[in-house]
């Protein structure tokens, strides 16, 4: 490793710790917009949107490029305090852990549910299916970073 400043990042869901590493830079999509996070950043708490979390890990002297990890985050909260970043998410998956065929099946199911619920004027079901579709599309998008 180099002498880069680092921060710790953890992604926690009701199922437990999903991601735990050090980072040099993180991007996240909050309800107020995208934020870039650096070590020693001002303390912040923000609501997260369903989107990807990008984590640039420290350089390794054996690897020419910095490693970037991608995590599909399905809502939640991000807290930044000094050089510690904690994400409490409803659910989250690292790109390498995403079951792409399952995510694609979830996308098809959600699209069919939107179509059916729209035809039957079930607005609450349309809203739920749209959220499911957005989550499936997020997982599919994040899985393509591998």
pLDDT at residue number 95: 94
pLDDT at residue number 58: 87
Residue 84: pLDDT over 70: yes
pLDDT at residue number 145: 87
Residues 11 and 69 in one domain: yes
Residues 24 and 90 in one domain: yes
Could you tell me where the beta strands, DSSP code E, fall in the chain?
A: 7-13, 16-23, 25-30, 33-37, 41-56, 68-82, 84-89, 92-94
Residues 42 and 107 in one domain: no
Q: Is residue 110 part of a domain?
A: yes
The enclosing domain of 26 has a CATH number of 2.60.15.10
| Domain housing 41 | 7-95
Please tell me the total count of domains within the chain: 2
Q: Is residue 1 part of a domain?
A: no
Euclidean distance between the first and the last CA atom of the chain, given in angstroms as a whole number? 23
Q: Is residue 87 part of a domain?
A: yes
């Amino acid at each position: 490793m180099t002498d880069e400043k680092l921060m710790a990042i953890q992604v926690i869901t009701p199922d437990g710790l999903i991601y735990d590493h050090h980072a040099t830079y993180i991007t996240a999509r909050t309800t107020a917009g995208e934020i870039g996070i650096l070590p020693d950043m001002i303390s912040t708490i923000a609501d997260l949107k369903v989107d990807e979390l990008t984590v640039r890990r420290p350089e390794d002297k054996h690897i020419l490029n910095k490693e970037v990890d991608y995590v599909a985050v399905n809502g939640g909260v991000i807290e930044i305090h000094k050089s510690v970043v904690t994400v409490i998410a409803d659910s989250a998956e690292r790109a390498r852990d995403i079951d792409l065929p399952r995510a694609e099946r979830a996308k098809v199911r959600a699209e069919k549910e939107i179509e059916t619920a729209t035809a039957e004027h079930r607005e609450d079901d349309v809203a739920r299916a749209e959220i499911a579709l957005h989550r499936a599309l997020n997982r599919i998008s994040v899985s393509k970073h591998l």
